[in-house]
Amino acid sequence: MKVHFILHESFEVPGAYLTWAQSRGHDIGITKVYKGEAIPKTVSGIDFLIIMGGPQSPDEDKEHFPYYHPKEEIRFIQQAIEEDKYIVGVCLGAQLLSVAYGGKCEHSPEREIGVFPIRMTGQGLADEHLKYFGSEILVGHWHGDMPGLTEEAVVLARSQGCPRQIIRFSPKHYAFQVHLEFDTEAIDLLIAADGEEKLREQNKILPFVQSPEELRGNDYSEMNAKLHNFLDSLTN
């Protein structure tokens, strides 16, 4: 299987998604948007598209992110949808996937940074690929926005701070606002990008933002294992 990643920033790493692809012996392709690499013209030869996160939104912002071309990414995702490739969008990637389906990205009710539980909906409990998650699971968060919905979209999980944490747009297309891929490397990179003092200030006033010390002290291994279970189930 050929797994292709779209990476928007050097500090938004694929973590456990990449270790899954490597450990399963899949062929791996990567487009590093932040290095000015162009989105492929075609999804031909790609079996699984994984679009990672970033500080951007699905709207174009040439002033702050001149290397980011969301319309090209949305076109590419729509091509993958039409050809029914496996697709997982993560954070910004989840929002781009929702826009590719015709949804409209929105602000989340709460900013979430850290490890907090999500609860599965009835549809989430019935989803065969999420059966390892149970009714509630601790997962990583780092966001202030959330994916849009369509009439066909199914919300599979919610948190106290965000009503759209996992969404299924079709049997092979999932949007994960949550970050099950986090590991210590990813957390250190994100803390450095956001700034420790900024996080400490937010931790004092926002209910779902952890301090840098709490972020580094979390155990990410269980969520990584559950992510691998999901990916195995989805692709087998």
Q: pLDDT exceeding 90 applies to what percent of the chain?
A: 99
Taking residues 214-222, what's their average pLDDT?
Answer: 98
Where residue 7 falls among pLDDT bands split at 50, 70, 90? very high
Q: What pLDDT is recorded for position 29? A: 98
Q: What pLDDT is recorded for position 111? A: 98
Q: What pLDDT is recorded for position 89? A: 98
Taking residues 71-79, what's their average pLDDT?
Answer: 98
Domain ranges of the chain: 2-235
Q: Which of 24, 61, 38 is nearest to 231 (CA)?
A: 24
Global pTM reads 0.98
Note the helical H segments in the chain. 16-23, 70-82, 92-100, 122-126, 184-194, 196-205, 212-217, 221-235
Single-letter residue type at 129:
H
Instruction: Compute the mean pLDDT over every residue in the chain, rounded to the nearest whole number.
Output: 98
- Encode pLDDT of 116-139 as tens digits: 999 999 999 999 999 999 999 999
Domain 2-235 has CATH 3.40.50.880: yes
Taking residues 88-112, what's their average pLDDT?
Answer: 98
- Encode pLDDT of 30-61 as tens digits: 999 999 999 999 999 999 999 999 999 999 99
* DSSP conformational letter for 138: E
Single-letter residue type at 224:
N
Q: What pLDDT is recorded for position 33? A: 98
Where residue 224 falls among pLDDT bands split at 50, 70, 90? very high
Phi and psi of 118, rounded to 5°? -115, 150
